[in-house]
Chains A and B, each alone.
Chain A
Amino acid sequence: MTDQTPAPLPRTTIAVSVLGALIAVFLLAPMLIILPVGLSANTFLRFPPSALSTRWFEEIFSDPAWRAGVVQSVKVAVVATVLAVVGGTCAALALRRLRRGRRVVRTALIAPMVIPQLVLALGLYLGVRDLGGTAGIATLMLGQAVLATPLVYLTVTAGLSAVDPALSRAAHGLGHRWPSVLLRVELPLVARTVAGASVLAFGLCFDESVLAYYLSPPGQETLPTRIWLAASQQASPVIAAVSTLVIGLAIALMGLSVALTGRRRNA
């Protein structure tokens, strides 16, 4: 079976190829427009730009407000990622051992993916207020962790499904209790998947804008919120430049994640 060459797919007609290309252009065009606009020498958002320069990219790095946004985004995303990776990985490992009720727990775990983020934001805001606190940056970190946990859970579960369950049993049979089985066998075997999942989670949190918009206190905005605020005040090409950087980062993170989870050792 394995060394058999796969049967050739039916030949794609030219029409289907053209349609596919058009759809790809439609999906990617906004990104392709953003880059030249960011490189514009104009003072206003305009496509195509009349002259090119890197002044807007330079401005991002020289303007303390933008720099603060980047730092804030990284801070929030790192904390949220750590929480989500710990939670999602634990959930994936634990659910493998669950004999009953696996489907219920699983559904609850991936629910944040389908709940509108606005509802989550409002819930967190009201919840924290009712508990006597003030929704702040910590609430935002928690909220983003909730959003990223299902992603981590699903990625690690997929990685675990390639691990022979007999390995865990073998480790138990050889005299190891579960924490030891976890540390010596299960975690090392999914380490790469967990690393890939963390990268994805970081990307998700870094770009996240809905929770960030509603929950970041004034003066502590993350990058997406700052873009939003800037866009609502002025139509400067700096917005396009920032967006280009964010898209570039997202693509880099996706590539890193694929590189981490895609390859298998000793397969």
Chain B
Amino acid sequence: MSTNVRIEALTVHLSGTRILHELGLEVPAGSFVTLLGPSGSGKTTTLNVLAGFAPASAGRVLLDDQPIEGLPAHRRDIGFVFQSYALFPHLTVEQNVEFALLARKVPRARRRELVAGALELVRLPGLGARPVGSLSGGQQQRIALARALVFGPSLLLLDEPLAALDKQLRETMQVELKRIQRETGTTTIAVTHDQGEALSMSDLVAIMNHGRIEQVGTPEEVYRRPATRFVAEFLGDANLLAVRSGRVELFDLPVRGAAEGTTVIRPEDLVLTERSAVAAVQATVTSVLYQGSRLRLSATVAGHERPLLVSAVPGELPGTPSPGDRIGLRHRGGVPRTLRDAEPAAVADELTGADAQPEPDDAVPQPSFGAP
């Protein structure tokens, strides 16, 4: 019952500015895909084009191989949750949720049933008669979800679904969004600028920049093996190190990919050692941040202009380093990959799903819901 989505060479110009440039994306049926990018990267525009709220200049959008770009918004059968929720302020919760059913001429008894089911799904049964203005932010968010899902849409679009909530509620709603998506099996595309949100909620993350997709992959793939410098830096802290003749210069490690360029080593891939240890890089601690479960420190290395960021588990250290201490740093293991520049050609490769250097887990996964 789930629908797969294919976006092909989608280009959007708005009043002379190019917002999207030949964007391509494959969303497997039933999966949760997040478009992640800074503001102005074109992610919300992509969502609006999918929903039919904004026109595309060129390109195609296919739901189960059926092109929809010619259809008006009201004939697309797509559920949309707005950042502001856009609940109708003059209607009750129940009237909001059944809104889509009225357009579909669903008989009254069946409408009741479906609305009750949808409110059950978002765990807000019994709120039907309340005016939406009396609900809290989290409740409004759930009602917006119920309204978007009640008619069994082929695709669910979420525009910054958690941006309007406070931090604690945001974490609860992340789990809830995942659960609801899993229970309904609705193919979902969400937009966010919060990398933590994208990594924790999605089956696939598409990182966008300047109207293009820089990389698509599972959260682990894009975090552990970013394809470009932008992806590496956008997804958390990154130590960017030079690659010469196939080796990471500083740590003398072999790399995968191009022999010359830049690679990324995550702060948690660096291990603190004794200064005298074999093959340790000599560094001087410049700052220490104790964060409870992690200890984050930055350290300078002679001949390397940017300080290295290190994230360690406090309990694993012999003692807590302090600024000015001289320490040794070692790579935890594994083979880093050389980043490539985000050039149009490289992006096009990514769109068709064919990476220049295929790796076993680079294949687009087909997540199956319902199975634990």
Contact = CB atoms under 8 A, between A and B. Distances in A.
A98 B49 CA distance: 18
Given A173-B73, A175-B151, A167 B131 contact: no
A266 interface: yes
Contact of B131 (A166, A171, A176, A266): A266
Q: How large is the interface on B (under 10, 10 to 19, 20 to 34, 35 or more residues)?
A: 20 to 34
B147 A174 contact: yes
Contact of B74 (A167, A176, A266): A176
B52 interface: yes
B74, B76, B79, B100 — most chain A CB neighbours (10 Å): B74
Nearest to A264: B89
A174 B80 CA distance: 8
B90 interface: yes
- The prevalent SS among residues of A at the interface is helix
Contact of A174 (B84, B89, B100, B131): B100
Interface residues of A, number: 19
A172 B73 contact: yes
B304 to A, nearest CB: 45
Contacts of B52: 172-173
A177 B74 contact: yes
Interface string A144-174: 0000000000000000000010110111111
B88, B100, B147 — most chain A CB neighbours (10 Å): B88
Given A164-B84, A176-B103, A189-B90, A169 B147 contact: no
- The prevalent SS among residues of B at the interface is mixed
A188 interface: yes
A93 interface: no
A43 interface: no
B21 to A, nearest CB: 22
Contacts of B99: 171, 174, 176, 184
A173 B100 CA distance: 8
Contacts of B88: 167, 170-171, 185
A53 interface: no
Given A164-B84, A166-B82, A266-B133, A172 B89 contact: no
Nearest to B95: A184
Interface in A176-196: 176-177, 180, 184-185, 188-189
A173 B89 contact: no
A173 B78 contact: yes
Nearest to B80: A173
A174 B132 CA distance: 17
A174 B99 CA distance: 7
10 contacts: A169-B51, A171-B88, A172-B53, A173-B80, A174-B74, A175-B74, A176-B102, A180-B103, A185-B88, A189-B89
Would you list the 7 A-B pairs with minimal beta carbon distance, nearest first?
A266-B133, A175-B103, A174-B100, A166-B86, A170-B86, A172-B73, A173-B80
Given A170-B80, A173-B78, A175-B103, 10 more contacts: A167-B88, A169-B73, A169-B80, A173-B73, A173-B76, A174-B103, A174-B151, A175-B74, A175-B100, A184-B99
Interface of A: 164, 166-167, 169-177, 180, 184-185, 188-189, 265-266
